[in-house]
Every structure is written in C-alpha cells, then in structure tokens.
C-alpha cells in the first residue's frame, strides 16, 4: 500500500501543474494558521526526512514519512527538508504541531506518537495532489480529545487472515485510532491458540456450517437454513506477536477480548466438564444467546481461565484486558448444584453476583501481571470489581453509572457505534447486515460525555469506540464497506471538541478522503445519509 502511494507521489513530482495544500483533513486539526505572506514550500523529489539518530521509534516514523512522501531519510539535521522532532510542550503525548516555512517542514510531537499523527495529517493533506506540491507556510496543530480512540473487529463469528488484520490496522492508523479491540472468541469459534491447551483452538475454531440470512434465532434444525461451507481458522501465537508488533509501530495498542463466562460454547465443545450440564456441546452454527455458560461453581473453570488469560498476557502488552461479560444468562446457575453451593459458600443472594465473583478472581489474577479488566456494561449487574473499566454498549446509562462510581468508561452505544448496522435506508443498495440503521450522520453526532455527569464524573469517560460484529460480514471487502466512511466520522468524535464539530463542513472534507480510499484500494460505501 505505502509503496503504491510512494510511486504515485513520485510520479506527481514529475508533472508541471502545481497543487496547493489546505491542511483540511479528517480528523480536523485543532488549529490551522496560514502565514499572511502567501508563500509556499515546494515538496520535490530528492528531499530528505530527518530524525534523531538515537531514537528507534523516530527512525521508524521517518521511514513511514519517507515511504508516504517518496523521499529518503537522514540523521544529518542540516540536510533535512522535513524534520521530525520531540519536544512539543504538552501533557498529551499524542499532540503534534506542523510548521511549514522557508527552511522546510518541521513535525514536532509531545512524544513519538504525536510525531506519527503529525505525519498522518501531512500525508492526508498531500496524498491526492498531482503535479508540483506546494504547501503554504503555516502552523498546524492537533490534540485528541480522548486518550482511548478505539475500533473493535469481531474475528470469531467470521475469521479474517493476518494480511487483512494488518490492512485493518493501517486503516485505523490513517484515522488516528490508537486502540484495536480484537474480539477473539465466541460461541461460533475460538481463534486464540493456547499452547497449554492445544486442542482448544484446533477443535473449537471449526464450525461445520453457518445459519443463512435472517434465520437468526431459529432453533428447529428442520426449519433453519444453513450453508455447507465450514468456517475455520485461528491465530497462532507467533502470528499474534507479529500483529502486536505491526500495530505498535503505528502506535496502536491491541486490547484482546476473551469472553467470559458466556459466549463460551466453542470452548465447552472441547471441555464439556466446564459447563453446568456437562454437555455434550458443539460449536454453534447459529447466532443468538445460549443459556450454556461456564460453571461458576466448578474450580476447574478458574483454572481454565487463568491458563488462557496467562498466555494472553504473554502476547498482548495492553494494560486493559477485555473479559467480555455480556449476554451471559444465569439460567443454568439457578439449577446447578455446584453454582448454588458456591453462592452459599460466598454468602451471595443472587446469581448475578457469581459473575462478579469470577470477575474479581480474574481481576486479582491479571493485577499480578500489571493489567486491568474491562468488560461490557452487564458487568455492573452483580457489582463491579474494584478497578474494573466498563465498555457501555446498551446505551449510555451503564457508562454513566460506572463513571459515577469513578470507574473508567469507554462509550460505544449501539445507536451511534454499531457499524454492523445498515448505513443506508435502502437495504438493496448495500450488503446484508444484522439490522438496525446507523447512517454516517448519526455516528458523527455522538457525544461520549453525557451532559448530566458532573465535570469530575465526566473525566472517567476515557474514550469512544465503534464496533464491527461479523455475523453477516463474511469477507475483508465487506468489512471495509461497513467500516468506511463511518470510521472517519468516529475519528472526529474521538479527536475534536464537541463545539468544533460541524457535519456539513465535515462532508466537504470527506470527499478528498474518499478519493484517498480509492487510491489506497479501500472498499467503502460510496453514498451516505
């Protein structure tokens, strides 16, 4: 991808027409101050990107810039035409400032990540230009509103190979996203290799068939319609480490999710003794919510979870580890002798507290490794464990409740953030989706910090995230179509202050970004509402 862009830019330098840059990109920089002199700096072939020789991250930043702009790198400050530097005075490490003047371009960041975001802003400013590229003398600076700027991809319902995961990460980087929430396990497939439990991924990753179309909750095999195409695949730990490295170079932290105690049918198909009934179970071929979950009263359940999460921590350096916690019925727990005995032992009065018991055990286990748990807002129902963060998806109320308790919150309500929903009213103009309707305008309208929180409570809203579930997303092209351009709207929610957002003005800046998508070979929804 980057080589292709580099060739395009190199070809552009050879043309005679001049192109002037306006720096009006997505997400919009916080400040764009054009020099009153009206002078330009001309970007031309043979120029160099300079970086400090003693900083490996800055070297990689310079290599990115050189690839994007068709230039070369240098550690000699005097010979640099684009200078990368750290030292911008700001408490936000992702802040950047771009200075364009007579001596060239300087991209300065509060840290290495800030420099990277400055490079991305300059990249988007020029990537559609042809001919001689002229950059007006200017001061351009950006500062993201939130520290957590996320996107989730479900690779459990449908498996996506590593090359696409890397492409997905590149798309996130283009939009200033810094968290990739990777959903790795489900009732319909287990995609994470556990070395101590080799049969888990080998067997639980295989789904012999999948329910077709809108037979969403049909339980009668004689009525439901299925395809005959097996869905298989899991990520080896070597592959996962490579993806972690790839993402880290782009300042993206991967937040892995292993769902518990529900959405565990695939795991139970291999280890039926971990369920309340003992099975037999098989990898689910349909969608929906199963009553069968991990047995909270079986001590082997925690042994299993600690083995899995222990290996997860060995691969993913993220401080936050997602434990799921959503859509976990307590039906089996109500009649399970082991679960009822555990409730009596712990002095619990309701089954929801059993989930909190498991969460607390896992929180203590992960804390020993310097990690914190984050879960969907159902984790509030039995009482939050001490340091748990909450991802609020069933509207804003769960997030508000957690913030009032001084727990960190990532807002991702379905009405604004579920990009597996249709994005156009006319369903015939787009691929099959799970339902719902989430147009581009509604994503853009999201406000992550509810007005009825106090300023102190509002500080606990650490970010926002869009989610791409894949019950009906069956290919990389389909995933990109669902993601873009709604991710562009989400990036402005994550970066911009609410009083600076303007949807009509956003649409004028979207057209150049769509052109960039085409150059980069990204699939996207060409119309929006």
Q: What pLDDT does residue 15 have?
A: 33
Q: What pLDDT does residue 3 have?
A: 43
Question: Each residue of 63-109: pLDDT tens digit?
Answer: 999 999 999 999 999 999 999 999 999 999 999 999 999 999 999 99
Q: What pLDDT does residue 253 have?
A: 98
* pTM (two decimals): 0.94
What's the pLDDT band for 17 if we cut at 50, 70, 90? very low
CATH fold for the domain made of 148-520: TIM Barrel (3.20.20)
* pLDDT at position 11 over 80: no
* pLDDT at position 216 over 80: no
What's the pLDDT band for 221 if we cut at 50, 70, 90? low
Average the pLDDT over each of 49-63, 121-135, 309-323 and give the range with the smallest value: 121-135
Whether 267 contacts 200, CB under 8 Å:
yes
How far apart are alpha carbons 461 and 345 in whole angstroms?
36
Q: What pLDDT does residue 374 have?
A: 98
How far apart are alpha carbons 250 and 242 in whole angstroms?
13
* pLDDT at position 232 over 90: yes
What's the pLDDT band for 16 if we cut at 50, 70, 90? very low
The fraction of the chain above a pLDDT of 90, given in percent, is: 89
Whether 179 contacts 253, CB under 8 Å:
yes
Q: Spell out the domain ranges in the chain.
A: 2-142, 148-520
Mean local confidence (pLDDT), 239-255: 98
Tell me the average pLDDT of the chain: 94
Mean local confidence (pLDDT), 141-151: 98
Mean local confidence (pLDDT), 364-368: 97
* pLDDT at position 7 over 90: no
**Alpha carbon distances (Å) from 314 to 194, 237, 308, 317:** 11, 9, 10, 7
What's the pLDDT band for 339 if we cut at 50, 70, 90? very high
What's the pLDDT band for 132 if we cut at 50, 70, 90? confident
Beta-bridged to residue 19, according to DSSP, are 133
Question: Each residue of 250-277: pLDDT tens digit?
Answer: 999 999 999 999 999 999 999 999 999 9
* pLDDT at position 307 over 90: yes
CA nearest 487: which of 508, 461, 517, 462? 517
Mean local confidence (pLDDT), 185-213: 95
What is the enclosing helix (H) or strand (E) of 405?
Answer: none
Q: What pLDDT does residue 222 have?
A: 58
In a 13 Å sphere around the CA of 81, the CA atoms on its Cβ side amount to: 16
**CB atoms < 10 A from the CB of 370, how many?**
9
CATH of domain 2-142: 3.30.379.10
Q: What pLDDT does residue 211 have?
A: 84
Q: Any residues with CB less than 8 A from the CB of 33 and at least 6 apart, and which?
A: 138, 139, 140
What is the enclosing helix (H) or strand (E) of 375?
Answer: strand 372-376
């Amino acid at each position: 991808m980057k080589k292709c862009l580099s060739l395009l830019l190199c070809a552009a330098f050879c043309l005679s027409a001049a192109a002037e840059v306006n720096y009006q990109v997505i997400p919009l920089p916080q400040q764009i101050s054009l020099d009153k002199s009206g002078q330009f700096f001309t970007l031309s072939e043979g120029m160099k990107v300079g970086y400090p020789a003693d900083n490996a991250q800055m070297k990689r930043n310079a290599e990115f810039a050189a690839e994007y702009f068709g230039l070369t790198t240098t550690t000699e400050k005097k010979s640099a035409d684009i200078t990368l530097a750290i030292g911008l005075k700001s408490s936000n490490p992702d802040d950047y400032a771009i200075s364009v003047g007579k001596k060239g371009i300087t991209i300065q960041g509060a840290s290495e990540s800030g420099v990277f975001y400055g490079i991305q802003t300059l990249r988007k400013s020029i990537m559609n230009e042809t001919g001689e590229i002229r950059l007006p003398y200017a001061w351009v600076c950006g500062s993201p509103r939130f520290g957590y700027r996320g996107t989730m991809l479900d690779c459990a319902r449908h498996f996506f190979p590593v090359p696409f995961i890397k492409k997905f990460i590149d798309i996130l980087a283009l939009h200033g996203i810094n968290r990739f929430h990777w959903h790795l396990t489900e009732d319909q497939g287990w995609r994470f290799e556990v070395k101590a439990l080799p049969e888990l991924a080998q067997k639980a990753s295989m789904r012999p068939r999948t329910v077709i179309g809108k037979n969403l909750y049909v339980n009668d095999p004689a009525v439901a319609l299925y395809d005959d195409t097996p869905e298989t695949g899991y990520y080896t730990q070597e592959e996962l480490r490579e993806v972690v490295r790839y993402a880290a170079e782009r300042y993206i932290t991967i937040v892995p999710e292993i769902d518990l105690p529900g959405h565990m049918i695939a795991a139970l198909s291999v280890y039926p003794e971990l369920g309340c009934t003992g099975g037999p179970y098989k990898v689910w071929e349909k969608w929906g919510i199963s009553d069968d979950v991990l047995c909270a009263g079986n001590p082997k359940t925690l042994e299993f979870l600690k083995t899995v999460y222990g290996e997860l921590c060995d691969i993913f350096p993220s401080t936050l580890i997602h434990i799921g916690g959503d859509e976990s019925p307590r039906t089996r727990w109500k009649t399970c002798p082991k679960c009822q005995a555990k409730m009596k032992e712990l002095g619990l009065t309701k089954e929801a507290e059993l989930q909190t018991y498991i969460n607390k055990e896992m929180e203590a286990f992960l804390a020993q490794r310097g990690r914190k748990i984050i879960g969907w807002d159902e984790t509030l129902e039995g009482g939050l464990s001490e340091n748990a963060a909450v991802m609020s998806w069933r509207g804003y109320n769960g997030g508000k409740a957690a913030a009032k308790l001084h727990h960190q919150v990532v807002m991702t309500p379905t009405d604004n953030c579920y990009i597996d929903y249709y994005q156009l009213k006319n369903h015939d103009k787009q691929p099959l989706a799970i339902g719902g309707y989430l147009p581009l305008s509604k994503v853009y309208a999201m406000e992550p910090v509810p007005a009825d929180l106090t300023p102190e409570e509002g500080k606990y809203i650490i970010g926002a995230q869009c989610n791409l579930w894949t019950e009906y997303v069956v290919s990389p092209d389909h995933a990109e179509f669902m993601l873009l351009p709604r991710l562009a709207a989400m990036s402005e929610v994550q970066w911009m202050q609410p009083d600076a957002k303007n949807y009509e003005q956003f649409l004028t800046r979207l057209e150049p970004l769509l052109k960039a998508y085409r150059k980069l070979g990204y699939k996207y929804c060409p119309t929006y509402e």
